[in-house]
Amino acid sequence: MAIEFKNLNLEVLDITTNATPDIYINVNGITFTKRVLDDLGYPQFVQYAVDKDNKVFAIRACKGNESRAVPFSKPKGEQKNTLSTSNKNITEIVRALMGDEWKNDCRYRVQGYYIANEKTIIFELAEGTECNYRPNKDGE
């Protein structure tokens, strides 16, 4: 071995959190991975935004008294799972941005990009990839 063990600066990985802040979008809603929650700091409130021309969906951590703030996450110790929204006012707008490029009966994974100084994660929807649903315990 060329490197001495004592010279390594090993970091234990957290395998309960995705490597990237992803969302999963289907016709019924949007699911945010725990990495989205982690990167945004488990915000109690967020603002959702879209850029129609660039087909971008964004989520920004904010204070509850800011314009169009909506409740989002529990505190880190209490938020055990991913977070989903089935609010049609969000999902229909996001799906409409992709028009015929996305099939109505498919689920799409979109990787997010965290912009720390803006407390915002942006999702370029055109980069979304079709993905399978997780099979249930019966394998269906």
Tens of each residue's pLDDT in the chain, 140 residues: 678 888 888 887 666 656 789 999 998 999 999 999 999 999 999 999 999 999 999 999 999 999 999 999 999 889 888 899 999 999 999 999 998 899 888 999 999 999 999 999 999 999 999 987 654 444 44
The answer to whether the CB of 107 falls within 8 A of the CB of 22 is no
In a domain, 138, yes or no: no
Nearest to 18 by CA among 111, 119, 100: 111
Domain tally for the chain?
1
Does residue 28 lie within any of the structural domains? yes
The whole-number pLDDT of residue 81 equals 83
Q: Does residue 54 sit within a domain?
A: yes
Q: What is the pLDDT of residue 133?
A: 62
Say if 7 falls within a structural domain. no
What's this model's pTM, rounded to 2 decimal places?
0.81
What was the pLDDT predicted at 127? 95
d(CA 87, CA 102): 19
The answer as to whether 77 is a domain residue is: yes
pLDDT score at 16 = 61
> Is residue 91 one of the residues assigned to a domain?
yes
Domain of residue 99 covers 19-131
Confidence at residue 118, expressed as pLDDT on a 0 to 100 scale? 96
136, part of any domain: no
* Bridge partners, 84 (sequence order): 31
140 domain residue, yes or no: no
Q: What is the pLDDT of residue 140?
A: 41
Beta bridge partners of 123: 57, 112
pLDDT of residue 72: 96
